[in-house]
Amino acid sequence: MTITWDAFGSTDPGRIRAGNEDAFRVDPEHGVFLVADGMGGHAAGEVASALVAKTAAEVLTRAVEGNGYEARFRDGLAEATRMAHDAIVTCCADDPRTRGMGTTLTACVLHPSGRLGVAHIGDSRLYRLRAEELEQLTVDHTWVQREVAAGRLGAEAARHHHLAHILTRVLSAESDYEADLLDERALPGDLLLLATDGLYNMLGDEEIARVLSSGAGLRSMADALIRAANAAGGVDNITVVLIRVNDSDVTAL
Ligand code: CA
């Protein structure tokens, strides 16, 4: 069985912030998708996420076009994060105004075989809706997540904790980087969602699952998610990338 996919991405500044420090890429042709959430002050945050999105997408696109890519899935994702980190380090060295900037990166690559590779740093998320069950495939690199994993904090308390925004891992010149590399399988019928924290801090899993289960088109679902996050306060930039996985035999009919 081979899979195909449709995708749609959208971003919105939200209701409070003047700028938008989120960046995303949707490249259905290569099966490359990502979100990045910049930080470090208005202008620098935008530079960081845009630079990392561009660099990672270029590396992944090149990797997908290379021979025997499926066997080197992990290498491509590892290289994308390394090159993205290098780009930040170089930019900060060249331009003092960007010093201290950083960004999250959650990138995924789909292969027609169904293989789904993921590189992840920070607190943006990849979710999967399968059989109406919403699952978060990435683990947040945050202080509260570490406390939850250690059993010192409950999941609900973590959501509203005053330190919820503190990241333990990020792409920046100040820190070494360590990406989680995931090797998943996508099945026909899966709906994947990449999102920045501006979405999930406003909407709980149940609300996200409800929109994703609606059976609407990807663009309407993306609009509905952003509208709901804004209705709930829209305190941060909101970015969503939706990918619907299809059975190639079915779509060929
Ligand atoms: Ca954010």
In the reported structure, the alpha carbon of residue 198 is separated from the centroid of ligand 1 by a whole-number distance in angstroms of 5
Do the Cβ atoms of 85 and 36 come closer than 8 Å?
Answer: no
Helix (H) / strand (E) containing 130: strand 125-130
Task: Give Cα separations from 96 to 22, 42, 86, 124 (angstroms).
Answer: 21, 15, 16, 26
Q: What pLDDT shows up at residue 124? A: 98
Distance CA 193, CA 9 (A): 9
In the reported structure, the alpha carbon of residue 117 is separated from the centroid of ligand 1 by a whole-number distance in angstroms of 23
Distance CA 6, CA 245 (A): 7
Residue 192's pLDDT band, with cuts at 50, 70 and 90, is very high
In the reported structure, the alpha carbon of residue 12 is separated from the centroid of ligand 1 by a whole-number distance in angstroms of 11
In the reported structure, the alpha carbon of residue 252 is separated from the centroid of ligand 1 by a whole-number distance in angstroms of 39
In the reported structure, the alpha carbon of residue 197 is separated from the centroid of ligand 1 by a whole-number distance in angstroms of 5
Distance CA 25, CA 56 (A): 10
In the reported structure, the alpha carbon of residue 216 is separated from the centroid of ligand 1 by a whole-number distance in angstroms of 26
Write out pLDDT tens, residues 100-130: 999 999 999 999 999 999 999 999 999 999 9
Q: What is the mean pLDDT of the chain?
A: 94
In the reported structure, the alpha carbon of residue 248 is separated from the centroid of ligand 1 by a whole-number distance in angstroms of 35
pTM of the model: 0.95
In the reported structure, the alpha carbon of residue 62 is separated from the centroid of ligand 1 by a whole-number distance in angstroms of 28
Mean pLDDT of the 199-216 span: 96
- Which pairing describes strands 191-195 and 22-27: parallel, antiparallel, or unpaired? unpaired
In the reported structure, the alpha carbon of residue 15 is separated from the centroid of ligand 1 by a whole-number distance in angstroms of 13
In the reported structure, the alpha carbon of residue 37 is separated from the centroid of ligand 1 by a whole-number distance in angstroms of 5
Only one residue has tokens 């939850």, namely: 148
Q: What pLDDT shows up at residue 42? A: 66
Q: What pLDDT shows up at residue 250? A: 66
Write out pLDDT tens, residues 63-107: 999 877 777 888 999 999 999 999 999 999 999 899 999 999 999
In the reported structure, the alpha carbon of residue 251 is separated from the centroid of ligand 1 by a whole-number distance in angstroms of 36
Q: What pLDDT shows up at residue 187? A: 97
In the reported structure, the alpha carbon of residue 49 is separated from the centroid of ligand 1 by a whole-number distance in angstroms of 11
Mean pLDDT of the 28-36 span: 97
In the reported structure, the alpha carbon of residue 241 is separated from the centroid of ligand 1 by a whole-number distance in angstroms of 15
Asked if pLDDT for residue 170 goes beyond 90, the answer is yes
